[in-house]
Amino acid sequence: MADDGEVRIKPVKKTFIFATVFGILIAFKLIIAAITLGGVAGSFFNLPVVLIVLGGTFAVTTICFSFQETDRTFSVIKKTIFYTTRDPADAALQIAQFARCLGVLSLQDILNSLKSEPFLQKGVSMLGAASVGRQENPRRLEMLLNSIIPPSKRTQFYQ
């Protein structure tokens, strides 16, 4: 929190996933080891075969998916290596502090900064809607927020 009385929500932390890069490096080292143990390196590299495999893979991918979906692949690869995290308890405390200092209606101002976290954004928007007068049933809020969390990850939140 800032000393001048301004309340800020900490941004999401980006974490470098070393295990993914390590696995990729090990895979390449194993391929290089197989090439060197196999004898002549030229026998492993055949340009027409590489073009058929890579070009064919790209062609089939673009046949099955749109260019937008294919383009999103690069962002998925980036997310595989760099993982964004935010401590849920820390985020909840920061949002509670923000609401306590500036009022519950001020939570509407931070909704855009929470777009990368749909669960948190939905919860904060429901709090704002409930404070305006649309009374939300707590069980309904829980069901809506549970619909955002994939079933495979729900147990992580309730342990």
How far is 86 from 156, CA to CA, in rounded Å? 14
Other C-beta atoms lying within 10 Å of the C-beta of residue 128: 19
pLDDT in tens, 104-149: 777 877 887 777 777 778 878 777 665 555 555 666 666 766 776 6
R_g of the chain, CA atoms, integer Å: 24
Flag whether the pTM goes above 0.95. Answer: no
Contact 92, 107 (CB under 8 A): no
The percent of residues in the chain predicted with pLDDT above 70, rounded, is 71
For residue 154, what pLDDT is reported? 56
Confidence category of residue 25, pLDDT binned at 50, 70, 90? very high
For residue 3, what pLDDT is reported? 46
